């Protein structure tokens, strides 16, 4: 249990949420599609994190709005399949479309069109995407997750130094910054975050009460980031074994007495990744953002 009288006022909002029947995703996802307030940050670590997350969000918003507004514009002109099959000129190197520059602009040749179409087909087939918007969104989600992943690692590193959190691998020959960097880089993100949260029993309590599956989610994101970095998102035996070893893939017995495997950390999707198949990164990106924003806020406010 925790003494709520000992909790900073900004964190008392979680008192009702930890007893709610609604899932973490239902409670926090929409509010985490808002700008983070870096001006009220209690630590430099969180201020940098909030500014970085707002920058990422602005880029995401620009893409989302571009696709939406173009889809509406095409629809008004009687073309209703913009997001399904976008004109090839949208996939060219931008300088080739710059009609203001007579030195760069050129018409789309058959050779260039064929090259772009082939690349699109390969990517869409790998991702099993039905339309252009889906495979583009998947690519953007990948960049988003990679950026947020690095941003959260940077926050943890800075937070360790700023809050003077003791780490077991500290080397007196190195600076505090280098020691913190080595500590974060040699552990999974889930292990690093859990260690930092556990430096104050109140933060770990809040994290576990908000959602006991948070650790699995961050470890899954860690494995998924590595999978998309090193194997193009195609599931490997190595990833599956790691997920089983960490308890992310769980086992249960159905009503017919047959044992089956499932994943509990992704709301509404208990599927286990299949070796040799592509695993989408889109849903976990939204979850990662929500968890990351809440936990960095908790760490910033806990004093």
The pLDDT tens digits of the residues spanning 140-164 come to: 999 999 999 999 999 999 999 999 9
Domain carrying residue 27: 4-85+131-301
Q: Specify the pLDDT at position 30.
A: 60
For 272-295, write each residue's pLDDT tens digit.
Answer: 999 999 999 988 898 899 889 989
For 171-214, write each residue's pLDDT tens digit.
Answer: 888 888 999 999 999 988 889 999 999 998 888 888 888 888 88
- Name residue, tokens 């602005």: 58
98 and 241: one domain?
A: no
Q: d(Cα 303, Cα 294) in Å, to the nearest integer?
A: 16
46 and 111: one domain?
A: no
- What pairs with residue 253 in β-bridges? 259
For the ranges 107-116, 126-135, 225-234, the lowest mean pLDDT is seen at 126-135
245 and 126: one domain?
A: no
pTM, two decimals, is: 0.89
Greatest CA separation for the chain: 71
Paired tokens of 108: 């789309």
Instruction: Work out how many domains the chain is built from and give that number.
Output: 2
109 and 77: one domain?
A: no
For 13-59, write each residue's pLDDT tens digit.
Answer: 888 877 666 666 666 666 667 899 999 999 999 999 999 999 999 99
Q: Specify the pLDDT at position 32.
A: 62
Report residue 250: phi and psi, to 5°.
-110, 170
294 and 167: one domain?
A: yes
278 and 201: one domain?
A: yes
Q: Specify the pLDDT at position 227.
A: 95
150 and 248: one domain?
A: yes
- What pairs with residue 259 in β-bridges? 253
pLDDT band at 139, cuts 50/70/90? Answer: very high
User: In this structure, are strands 259-263 and 249-253 parallel, antiparallel, or unpaired?
Assistant: antiparallel
pLDDT band at 76, cuts 50/70/90? Answer: very high
Mean pLDDT computed over every residue of the chain = 90
122 and 254: one domain?
A: no
C-alpha 242, offset from chain centre: 19
Which is more confident, 127 or 114? 114
Residue 104, pLDDT > 90, answer yes
């Amino acid at each position: 249990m925790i003494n709520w009288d000992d909790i900073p006022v900004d964190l008392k909002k979680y008192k009702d949420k930890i007893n709610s029947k609604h899932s973490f995703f239902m409670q926090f996802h929409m509010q985490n599609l808002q700008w983070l307030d870096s001006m009220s940050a209690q630590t430099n670590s969180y201020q940098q994190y909030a500014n970085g997350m707002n920058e990422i969000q602005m880029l995401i918003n620009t893409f989302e709005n571009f696709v939406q507004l173009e889809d509406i514009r095409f629809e008004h002109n009687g073309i209703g399949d913009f997001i399904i099959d976008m004109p090839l000129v949208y996939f060219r190197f931008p300088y080739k479309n710059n009609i203001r520059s007579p030195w760069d602009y050129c018409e789309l040749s058959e050779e260039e069109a064929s090259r772009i179409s082939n690349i699109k087909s390969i990517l869409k087939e790998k991702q099993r995407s039905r339309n252009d918007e889906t495979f583009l969104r998947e690519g953007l989600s990948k960049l988003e997750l990679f950026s947020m992943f690095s941003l959260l690692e940077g926050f943890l590193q800075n937070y360790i130094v700023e809050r003077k959190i003791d780490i077991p691998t500290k080397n007196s020959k190195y600076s505090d910054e280098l020691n913190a960097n080595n500590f974060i880089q040699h552990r999974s993100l889930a292990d690093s975050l859990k260690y930092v949260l556990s430096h104050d029993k109140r933060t770990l309590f809040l994290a576990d009460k908000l959602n006991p599956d948070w650790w699995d989610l961050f470890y899954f994101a860690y494995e998924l980031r590595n999978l998309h970095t090193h194997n193009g998102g195609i599931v490997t035996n190595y990833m599956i074994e790691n997920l089983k070893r960490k308890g992310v893939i769980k086992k249960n017995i159905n009503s017919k007495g047959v044992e089956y495997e499932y994943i509990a950390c992704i709301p509404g999707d208990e599927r286990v990744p299949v070796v040799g198949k592509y695993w989408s990164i889109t849903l976990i990106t939204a979850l990662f953002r929500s968890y990351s924003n809440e936990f960095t806020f908790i760490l910033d406010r806990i004093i």
